[in-house]
Amino acid sequence: MKVVVIQIRCPYCGRWITLSHEIIRQPKGYGAHYAHKIKKLSRTHIVILSILYFYGNKGKTPLPKRKISYLLHKKGIKISGNEVSARLSELHGLGFVKFEKSRIKLLDEERQKYRYVKIPHWYLTDRGLRKVLELKKEGLI
């Protein structure tokens, strides 16, 4: 969150007024702007962290949102793709997960043709890995 100080001159009396204004909107890719207000992780947050830990080779192998959504449905948690995106954004804002956007996919091995895949692939950060191990110790995972 960024605080900007603005000085405005009154068009009627000519006095200067100083205002401080909080800019809530962060640039794209920084996670949910309200993530710092989250005090306790929801069940969905915990399951997403566990999916990234167990299916993502202890957080080292990135998983696309579609795979995470599929694994949530497989575990019996029926949520929309938008909700999965929102929870991932909140976890990103908390610093538990990160994403990488471009990966190279080999299309034709013989001709050595490659293509960039721009689907975000999510993985655990060191902080997220510590949180998963803490949740595991508490018996929540």
Cα 135 from Cα 50, distance rounded (Å) = 9
Lowest mean pLDDT among 35-49, 56-70, 72-86, 105-119: 105-119
Q: Assign 140 a pLDDT band (cuts: 50, 70, 90).
A: confident
3-state secondary structure of 36: helix
What's the Cα-to-Cα distance from 69 to each of 49, 121, 136, 138, 141, rounded to whole Å?
A: 12, 12, 21, 25, 18
pLDDT of residue 1: 56
Rounded (to 5) percent helix, strand, coil in the chain: 35, 25, 35
CATH classification of 2-138 is 1.20.210.10, yes or no? no
Report yes or no on whether pTM surpasses 0.85.
no
Largest distance between two CA atoms of the chain? 77
**pLDDT confidence band for 67 (50 / 70 / 90):** very high
Percent of the chain's residues with pLDDT above 70: 90
pLDDT exceeds cutoff 60 at 90: yes
Residue from 78, 80, 84 nearest 49 by CA:
84
Per-domain residue ranges of the chain:
2-138
Mean pLDDT for the chain overall? 84
